[in-house]
């Protein structure tokens, strides 16, 4: 089959690599794609915020499966458009994309299904003081009820910052959620689902804070690894019983069921109890870069089966390896990244026995001289795959340590929670 991937990040490069290794896939197209995808697929420079342009491209290319990377086209209803045109789409219709698009909607569904999550209140009236800040203990968690590209959540110990974040959100969006702070360790559970079945992929852990030791501001994600040992088999069973099965049972019985990946961000407390921090309606970035390489079965066949409601007929197998990815970010990320600088030292790959490491490209372009240059906040990530996590992390660092990009930065402790266990 011919596949069209929508998006331009490291996640989409990881999909393209996975499809390139799939027997079921003949041609790979990516819109708009990046320098990494251009090496193994055909890029198409279209405006993916316009569903009609995606539909037009998919039709023109006689695409058999469209795979949506980022959340915005899903919330905007790309899957609904494709469904009307009978083009299989990996990614849910806009109604279910609201599980990510609106935190309030996600909370409503969790409450209805008795899924464990933090208590919250909704506020919609501007004030100079809010009673809830005296009821919930600090740190306070303030969540905007809109897609905010990873910048919609404030976690703060300062009452002043909490009040100004609440006011800002109410002024911008008309409402805001204030949530109880959950203690514990976070993990990402990516679940492929349709009406026939669900499959939990190996649990992973992102590193959302900019700096080592989980300090500094929140980012889109500075690195990840899988499988994450914090999610023990018994915790994964609890996640399935208390979270995955109830939401899957609900979504599969709808007229238009969920088809795609549901990303469940969980917090695991000291007793091993999981609670939902967030739902995303897509694969995570950079979680994809460490998850897709662990899938040993045909990725094209897996995604196609979920997009057409036949997941139960698909056999999914995994490699018995660990993986780690280290994100190289440009100067001033996550504020306003400074881009346009030349990248060098990015031509190394590792293939030593069972240890492999290579680059997933994201915000990288090529200039008129054919040199690689930075063009986004997260420029690329170096990914290692190996029999042990330690080897995977070391291989990823061997690649990223070799790269030169002016004033770029990366975390030096990816995987530390697992390696310290
Ligand atoms: P979200 O966009 O909902 O994933 O939130 C971004 C990050 O804020 C999460 O990855 C957590 O690290 C943190 N966060 C969100 N909600 C909570 C909560 N209720 N308790 C503790 N941390 C949270
Ligand atoms: N890595 C976090 C996300 O994709 O939302």
Q: Please check the confidence at residue 192 and state whether its pLDDT lies above 90.
A: yes
Residue 62 CA to residue 90 CA, distance in Å, equals: 16
Enter the tokens of residue 125: 């009236």
- Taking the centre of ligand 1 as the mean of its atom positions, its distance from the CA of residue 208, in whole angstroms, is 10
Instruction: State the DSSP string of 74-135.
Output: HHTTHHHHHHHTT--EES--HHHHHHHH-HHHHHHHHHHTT--B--EEEE-S--S--THHHH
Q: Nearest residue CA, atom 11 of ligand 1? A: 277
Could you give the count of Cα atoms lying within 13 Å of 49 in the half-sphere of its Cβ? 0
Determine whether the shortest distance from the Cβ of 221 to ligand 2 is under 6 A.
Answer: yes
Q: Given this model, what pLDDT does residue 149 score?
A: 81
Note the CATH architecture for domain 2-93.
Answer: 3-Layer(aba) Sandwich (3.40)
pLDDT mean across residues, the chain: 97
The pLDDT confidence band at residue 151, using thresholds 50, 70 and 90, is confident
Does ligand 2 have an atom closer than 6 angstroms to the CB of 287?
Answer: yes
DSSP conformation class of 309 = T
pLDDT at 199 over 80: yes
What tens digit of pLDDT does each residue of 27-78 get? 999 999 999 999 999 999 999 999 999 999 999 999 999 999 999 999 999 9
Q: Are 274 and 116 in contact (CB under 8 A)?
A: yes
Q: What is the model's pTM?
A: 0.97
pLDDT of residue 399: 98
Peptide bond into 36 cis (omega under 30): no
Q: Which CATH class is domain 185-419?
A: alpha beta
* Mean pLDDT within 350-364: 98
pLDDT score of 12 more than 90:
yes
Locate the ligand 2 atom nearest the alpha carbon of residue 206 and give its number: 1
Q: Do 2-93 and 119-179 agree at the fold level?
A: no
234 C-alpha to center of ligand 1: Å?
Answer: 23
148 band by pLDDT with thresholds 50, 70 and 90 = confident
Ramachandran category for residue 149: left, alpha or beta (phi over 0 → left; psi -120 to 50 → alpha): left
Which atom of ligand 2 lies closest to the CA of 224?
Answer: 1
- Which-ligand-closest: CA of 152? 1
DSSP structure class, residue 64: S
Q: What is the DSSP letter of 70?
A: S
pLDDT average, residue stretch 219-234: 97
According to the model, what pLDDT value does residue 24 have?
98
Distance CA 68, CA 65 (A): 10
What number does the ligand 1 atom closest to the CA of 143 have? 3
8 Å CB contact between 225 and 322? yes
Cα 218 to middle of ligand 1, angstroms = 10
Going by C-alpha positions, the residue among 374, 420, 372, 373 that lies closest to residue 393 is 420
| For residues 309-319, average pLDDT | 97
Percent of the chain with pLDDT over 90: 98
**Which atom of ligand 1 is the closest one to the Cα of 148?**
2
SS3 257: coil
Nearest atom, ligand 1, residue 265 CA: 4
Nearest alpha carbon, ligand 1 atom 16:
277
pLDDT value of residue 214: 96
Q: What is the CATH number of domain 119-179?
A: 3.30.1490.20
List the structure tokens of 17. 């690599």
The rounded distance, in Å, linking the Cα atoms of 333 and 287 is 19
User: Residue 421 — very low, low, confident or very high, per pLDDT cuts 50/70/90?
Assistant: confident
State what percent of residues in the chain have pLDDT above 70. Answer: 100
Model confidence pLDDT, tens digit, residues 163-178: 999 999 999 999 999 9
- Residue 150 confidence class, pLDDT cut points 50, 70, 90: confident
**Domain boundaries, given as residue ranges, for the chain:** 2-93, 119-179, 185-419
Cβ within 8 Å of residue 287, ≥6 positions away: 188, 190, 204, 206, 221, 224, 226, 263
- What is the rounded average pLDDT of the residues 167-194? 97
Determine whether the shortest distance from the Cβ of 223 to ligand 2 is under 6 A. no
By DSSP bridging, strand 322-329 and strand 274-280 are: unpaired
Point out the ligand 1 atom lying closest to the alpha carbon of residue 118: 19
Q: Given this model, what pLDDT does residue 154 score? A: 93
Which residue has the CA at smallest separation from atom 2 of ligand 2?
A: 284
CA–CA dist 266, 62 (Å, integer):
39
| CA-proximal residue: ligand 1, atom 9 (nearest) | 277
CA 53 from centroid of its chain's CA atoms: 24
Residues lining ligand 1, Cβ inside 6 A: 118, 141, 152-153, 155, 179, 181-182, 186, 208, 218, 265, 277-278
Rounded mean pLDDT, 393-402: 98
Mean pLDDT (whole number) for 262-273: 98
Q: Ligand 1: distance of its center to the CA of 268 in Å?
A: 12
């Amino acid at each position: 089959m011919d596949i069209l991937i929508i998006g331009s990040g490291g996640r989409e490069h990881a999909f393209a690599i996975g499809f390139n290794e799939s027997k079921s896939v003949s041609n790979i197209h990516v819109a708009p794609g990046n320098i990494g995808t251009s090496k193994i697929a055909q890029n198409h420079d279209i405006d993916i915020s316009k569903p009609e342009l995606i539909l037009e491209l998919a039709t023109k290319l006689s695409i058999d499966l469209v795979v949506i990377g980022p959340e915005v086209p899903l919330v905007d209803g790309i899957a609904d458009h494709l469904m009307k045109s009978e083009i299989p789409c990996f990614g849910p219709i806009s109604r279910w994309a609201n599980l990510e698009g609106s935190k309030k909607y996600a909370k409503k569904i969790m409450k209805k299904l008795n899924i464990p999550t933090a208590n919250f209140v909704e506020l919609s009236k501007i004030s100079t003081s809010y009673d809830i800040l005296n009821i919930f203990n600090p740190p306070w968690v303030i969540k905007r009820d809109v897609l905010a590209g990873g910048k919609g959540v404030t976690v703060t110990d300062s009452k002043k910052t909490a009040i100004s974040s609440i006011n800002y959100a109410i002024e911008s969006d008309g409402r805001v959620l204030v949530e109880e702070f959950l203690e514990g360790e976070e993990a990402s559970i990516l679940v492929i689902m349709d009406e026939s079945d669900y499959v939990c992929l190996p649990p992973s852990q992102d590193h959302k804070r900019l700096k080592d030791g989980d300090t500094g501001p929140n980012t889109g994600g500075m690195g990840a690894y899988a499988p994450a040992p914090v999610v023990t088999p018994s915790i994964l069973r609890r996640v399935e019983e208390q979270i995955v099965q109830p939401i899957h049972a609900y979504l599969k019985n709808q007229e238009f069921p969920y088809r795609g990946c549901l990303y469940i961000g969980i917090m695991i407390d000291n007793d091993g109890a999981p609670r939902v921090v967030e739902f995303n309606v897509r694969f995570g970035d950079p979680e994809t870069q460490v998850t897709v390489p662990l899938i040993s079965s045909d990725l094209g066949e897996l995604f196609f089966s979920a997009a057409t409601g036949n997941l139960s007929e698909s056999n999914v197998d995994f490699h018995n390896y660990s993986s780690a990815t280290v994100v190289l970010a440009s100067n001033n990320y996550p504020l306003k990244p400074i881009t346009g600088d030349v990248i060098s030292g990015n031509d190394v790959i590792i293939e030593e026995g069972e240890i492999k490491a290579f680059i997933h490209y994201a915000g990288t372009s090529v200039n008129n001289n054919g040199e690689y240059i930075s063009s986004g906040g997260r420029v690329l990530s170096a990914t290692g795959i190996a029999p042990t996590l330690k080897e995977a992390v070391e291989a990823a660092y061997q690649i990223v340590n070799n790269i030169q990009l002016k004033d770029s930065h990366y975390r030096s402790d990816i995987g530390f929670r697992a390696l310290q266990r």
